[in-house]
Amino acid sequence: MAKKEAPVIETQRLILRRRMDKDIARMVTAFNHEEVRAYLGGYPPREAHAIQRIIRARTATEWAVTIKGKDEYIGECTINKVVDGYLGEIGYLFLRRYWNKGYATESVQAMMEYARDTLGLGRLSASIDAENDRSIHLIEKLGFQRVALLPEADFGGRVTDVAYYSLKFGEI
């Protein structure tokens, strides 16, 4: 049986599409940039073969983010888990050179709309390394509320303080 593919989502400046093998080199760059990597949960892969396994194990809620007119990976957005058709957890990362351009905001807004309108979710959550001020600013700007700060918590296999955010649709 064929894997269900992430649908193409278009925003004003971006195209969100499924991750592909052609994205591997740019994904390796993102996953190996220490400033990007510093806030990722667990121990993300560094090698192309490991990233290729991630791409091939894809789900219908994992997108590569590209700029319209350029089909090049600049980052990614995911709805990592969907629980009981109600709750989803979002995640995102971008190549360092694409920070501070509004691409993360634009793509996370598109994911929020997709989660609400297409998946029918009632709530989204985000777990963020408490030191990641940029990500915290982004998520708060989009209406998420901090509901917990978990000191020395499991963050995908590494220990750090974790800020847990939540957004209930209908409250924004």
Q: Give the pLDDT confidence of 68-117 residue by residue, as tens digits.
A: 999 999 999 999 878 888 999 999 999 999 999 999 999 999 999 999 99
Domain range enclosing 47: 9-122
Share of the chain above pLDDT 70, in %: 97
- Kindly state whether residue 144 falls inside one of the protein's structural domains: no
The CA radius of gyration of the chain, in Å to the nearest whole number, is: 15
- pLDDT interval class at 2 (50, 70, 90): low
What is the number of residues in the chain? 172
Residue 26 covered by a domain: yes
Confidence of residue 1 (pLDDT cuts 50, 70, 90): very low
Q: Which helix (H) or strand (E) holds 132?
A: none
Average pLDDT of the residues in 25-41:
88
Residue 172 has pLDDT above 80, yes or no: no
Identify the pLDDT of residue 171.
Answer: 60
In a domain, 107, yes or no: yes
Whole-number average pLDDT of the chain: 91
With contact defined as beta carbons under 8 Å apart, do 99 and 138 qualify? Answer: no
Q: Does residue 62 lie in a domain region?
A: yes
Residue 152 covered by a domain: no
- Token readout for 13 is 């400046």
pLDDT of residue 83: 86
- The secondary element (H helix, E strand) that includes residue 26 is helix 24-32
Lowest mean pLDDT among 14-23, 48-57, 86-95, 109-118: 48-57
Note whether residue 84 is domain-resident.
yes
Residue 49 lies in a domain: yes
The reply to whether 143 falls in a domain is: no
Kind plus residue range of the DSSP H or E element containing 27? helix 24-32
How far apart (Å, rounded) are the C-alpha atoms in residues 138 and 55?
Answer: 26
Residue 75 pairs in a beta bridge with: 65, 94
Total number of domains constituting the chain: 1
Give residue for tokens 């989502």: 9
Residues 127, 128, 129, 135, Cα dihedral to 10°: 180
Residue type, 149: L
CATH of the domain at 102: 3.40.630.30
